[in-house]
Amino acid sequence: MLEQVRDDDGEKKWKRVEVNLKDHLIYPNFPQGMSLEFYDEYLGDYLTKIGMDQLPQTRPLWEIHIVKYPTSSATGNVIFKLHHALGDGYSLIGALLSCMQRADNPSLPLTFPSCQSSSKPRHDSVSIFRRVPRVLSGMINTVLDFGWTLLKSSIVEDDRTPIRSGDDGVQFRPVNITTMTFSLDQFKQIKANLGVVILFL
């Protein structure tokens, strides 16, 4: 694995390092024999704590926290804490999906539903007349989005909301982690509506 270090001149560079799993797997100790509601609250406090703690700079910037205490929504929890330098959401989800297989036939590649809504053949002239407005609309939307992004990043300030206070130093304040639980039946309903394949790790 690669780790970012500073050389003698103070310049940052990547260095290949050996990973000691014991340094990255963390098994927190909670009080024994408590109620599910207690563990719900305790897990929330634990998530808040690790959310505020910085990752150690002496080893690769990731941790896996394995919580072996039952809550009202699970018999245990696995928490991945990764530094953004390891990848953005798109690349990390891509890495996760690369670890998955199709449940119906693991030898086939993972597939997702097509965006095409119709397989009917179209006449070329009709198809061109339908595509031109879409292309123009896409170009106009791209220009508008790009311009709005430039304005938001340099001139226009985001509105203050319950999520964005706009105060200086807000990144150093304590955070509170909120979780949302989805049942397997809800995932099955989403899968059925989208027509996707079943995944498993």
Encode 139-179 in three state secondary structure. Answer: HHHHHHHHHHHHHHHHCCCCCCCCCCCCCCCHHHCCCCCCC
For residue 124, what pLDDT band results from cuts at 50, 70 and 90? Answer: low
Residue with token string 């597939």: 111
Cα atoms found within 13 Å of the Cα of residue 46, Cβ hemisphere only? 20
Rounded Cα gap, residues 76 and 195, in angstroms:
30
At residue 18, the pLDDT reads 81
155 has a pLDDT exceeding 60:
yes
Confirm whether pTM is higher than 0.85.
no
Q: What is the mean pLDDT of residues 120-145?
A: 78
Where b means 16+ CB within 10 Å and e means fewer, 137-169 reads: eeeeeeeeeeeeeeeeeeeeeeeeeeeeeeeee
Asked if residue 79 lies in contact with residue 67, where contact means CB atoms within 8 angstroms, the answer is: yes
Q: Highest-confidence range of 5-9, 18-22, 64-68, 136-140, by mean pLDDT?
A: 64-68
Collapsing DSSP states into helix, strand and coil, what is residue 13?
strand
28 has a pLDDT exceeding 90:
yes
Q: What is the mean pLDDT of residues 135-143?
A: 90
Q: What is the mean pLDDT of residues 46-61?
A: 87
Asked if residue 184 lies in contact with residue 192, where contact means CB atoms within 8 angstroms, the answer is: no
Asked if residue 102 lies in contact with residue 201, where contact means CB atoms within 8 angstroms, the answer is: no
**Percent of the chain residues past pLDDT 70, beyond the cut:** 87
